Each structure stands twice: as structure tokens, then as C-alpha cells.
Structure 1
């Protein structure tokens, strides 16, 4: 069974939705049985790579409100993030062009580290204020997850893995995706946005049942006295 997830590394609801999906899979007992495939989506590919504009300034311009009003707008999002264990820090977040981040994530997939790098990118941006559009930050994160900086630098200097990113975006357009996060569960069910966890629970359970998946046993109680290989704990 497979769940495809379209998201961007500067989308606050994408990180929240990712956590909700992960928790639903864990709670249902399907860890290790469901493949989660992360897909690229660019909310604003025109964002300058060298920007230092704060998120508040960006929201102020986008919605024609004051920066103080923009700050108020983020409070509900921060509270929603806390519900899934994420402590967003909008005060230190800045705009970022995520094209390079997505290309590096595609490269990391070929090394078996795609999920690790994607998680690190999200954590850096939303919790640490990392400028994930800039090369030095990206190379530092690459190294943190055990990937080669020199190889990553060659990726950044080239246009490698851009086709893979574009393919994901094209697939999203064909599906009619207009915003992220967007989840496709086993090619049968679509979930738009970071919906309540109950909807993820219900959809995962339904798709798993149709796919014939059996949940893993959930152990209850403390370890009791047992006998193994002819010996008993007395």
C-alpha cells in the first residue's frame, strides 16, 4: 500500500499534515507496511534565492495587512502545530526558494536518505529559522543526515533532478491539485490539506482493509513471566 504526499518545505500545513499521517499509520499498526512517497510542489518558485524577507513581511504584502496583523494570522497555525508536537517559530522564519531543496531531496532518494533530508529541511525551516533556499544551509543539512557535501554541491551547481521535480508538479496538475499538502492514498482516495486526524485514521483504515493489510499486534501491559526454549523465569 502506498500514500503519495505532495508538499513544499515552506508550507506550514504540510509539516502538520505529515505528522498527522505518520501518527495515523502508527496508531493503526501499519508501520512498515505502508510506503509513504514524498512528492515535490513549489508554492512560489519566483521567490529570490537570496531573500532575507521575514514571513511577516511576506504575509503583509500578500494580504495587504500590517506586519502586526500578519503576526496575529500565524498564531492559529502555531497552535495547530503544537497539537502534533511541533513548536513553530514564525518570529525567525524567512521566505525561501525551495527549488534547490526539492532537487536535493530527489537526489537523497537515490541514496536512501530522502525521508531523512525532507524531515530535516522541514525542521530547519519551521523550528530553527533555517534559510533553506541558500546553498550553505542546504549543504549543512545534507551532511547532518549523512550525505556527501561535495556531491550535493555538484547537484546544486547543475540542473540535475529538476526533471523529477517538474514531473511531480505535472502529476499534481493532472490530479487537479491547487494547494498542498495533498495526499493520495493507494491511488483511490485524495485528501486535500491538513485535515483532522480522524479523517486520516478513517481513510488509512479503509484503504488498508481493501488492500488486505493486517495491523501489527499492539502489546499491552508490562513484560510478564515467560518460558522460552525450555527455560522459565521463576
Structure 2
């Protein structure tokens, strides 16, 4: 039996970017790594954003939290320091934000292709570590997906059809609400344990260990009589 980890995220979310790295650092040291299945789920931080617009992140943060742009910029520098501490590049100024629905549709397409993690990493890099705008630009999404190993015509077909994988995105979002997720990142281990936020790697290690221990009943063996196994049967003792 495997351990299944589902992670609800949004490309706009810097803590999703950090949380993925911290989780993967824990997973890399997990002795049963090969038996852990990871699936990324969709969560839009602001689904009301127009699909054809984008804007500067600093101004958006300032408006959302009722703080000055100087304070918002300081917050971004703080996140950048956290990213640097775990080996992630992070632009603390000049980034934009926008509607991420098409990216989530592409991530479901990538899941069907068996390469979801590769596309998610590429989108995170494009958003948090590269200066060129990511949102409201299908051509850039195509270039990013192709560079991540996807067929260009297939990617264009998904982006051209607004219904492609849309139901899968909405289903993820409904499920997140049913599970009580009000923000991201939100990690769910075997539908038993939930972890909210970009927790330290040590926390993810603890939950992985617990989920692994709980994946099947532990049976206490009593007695030591003779048994037969793959290598044959125990020989009875001779007088």
C-alpha cells in the first residue's frame, strides 16, 4: 500500500512555492519515498480576477491587507529571505498577479500526461523567479509547457478550449471546501491528516512517518511454533 499526499495550491501563492520545497526536502529523506504518491490539486486564491488582466503584486498586497506599499515590499523581502534559506530563487519586486484558472487546467492536463510535477515547478519558476509577466499571456504558458516537455499542439488545444479540464479544477475546489481548507498550501495525507501552510520540513517528516505507520493495521504476533515460509519449513527439533 502507498501513502497518498494531495496538495492544494495556487500559482499566485508564494507559500505554496515554499511549502512544496519544504515538503520535498522531507520526502527526499523519507525511507519509503518510492511508495508515496503525490497529487497536486487546484485552489484559486481569487477566482473573480478577470482572465485577461494582470497587475503588480506589491500594489495588490497593499490593497488586500490595507497596508502601505512599503510594508508590502518589506513582506515580499521577508518571503524572499525564506525562499533563499531553502535554495529557491525569488524576485521580491517586479512580479505580477492574475487569474490562474488556465494554469490549473493545464496542471490537470499534465496530471493526465503523468508529468504534473514538472509543469508545476516550471510555473512556479516562471512566476516567482523570472521577470517576464506570466498571467494573461497564453503564448508564454505554451512556451513554459513546451520547455517542460509537453507537446505544443496538445497544450494549445487545452488553452483554446475553455471547457477542457475545467470541471476537474472546480471539483478540486469543491473538495477543498468540503475538507475545510480556507487557504493554501493545504496538504492531505491519505485523507486522514491535514497540514496547513508552508510548515518546516520536520513537520512533514513527522506526518509522513505517521501516515506510513497507519497505512495498514499492525498485527502483534504471539507464539513461536514452527512455520513454513518462502525459504521452506522450519525443521522440528530432534531428541
In the superposition, the TM-score normalised over structure 2's length comes to 0.84
Instruction: Give the alignment of 1:131-210 within 5 angstroms.
Output: 131-133=133-135, 134-158=137-161, 159-210=163-214
Give the corresponding residue for 1:215. none
Q: Does 1:31 align with 2:28?
A: no
Q: Does 1:55 align with 2:41?
A: no
**Mapped contact 2:54–2:99 kept (Cα < 8 A):** no
Q: Which deviates the most, 76-85 or 137-146?
A: 76-85
SS in 2 for 1:128: coil
Give the corresponding residue for 1:108. 110
In the superposition, the TM-score normalised over structure 1's length comes to 0.86
Cα 1:187–1:52 shift into 2, 3 Å: closer
CA distance in 2, matches of 1:52, 1:177: 26
Cα 1:11–1:130 shift into 2, 3 Å: farther
Ranges in structure 2 where 5+ consecutive residues have no aligned partner: 217-239
Q: Does 1:6 align with 2:8?
A: yes
TM-aligned CA deviation for residue 4 of structure 1 = 0.5
Deviation per residue, 1:21-44 (Å, 9 max, x gap): 111111122322100110000001
SS in 1 for 2:157: helix
CA distance in 1, matches of 2:186, 2:47: 18
Q: Which of the residues 36, 40, 46 maps onto 2:42?
A: 40
TM-aligned CA deviation for residue 83 of structure 1 = 2.0
TM-aligned CA deviation for residue 183 of structure 1 = 0.4
Give the corresponding residue for 2:94. 92
Give the corresponding residue for 1:79. 81
SS in 2 for 1:91: coil
TM-aligned CA deviation for residue 193 of structure 1 = 0.6
SS in 2 for 1:14: helix
TM-aligned CA deviation for residue 130 of structure 1 = 4.4
SS in 1 for 2:98: coil
Give the corresponding residue for 2:119. 117
Q: Does 1:211 align with 2:209?
A: no
Q: Which deviates the most, 202-211 or 126-135?
A: 126-135
Ranges in structure 1 where 5+ consecutive residues have no aligned partner: 213-234
SS in 1 for 2:23: helix
Cα 1:176–1:130 shift into 2, 3 Å: farther
CA distance in 1, matches of 2:110, 2:6: 17
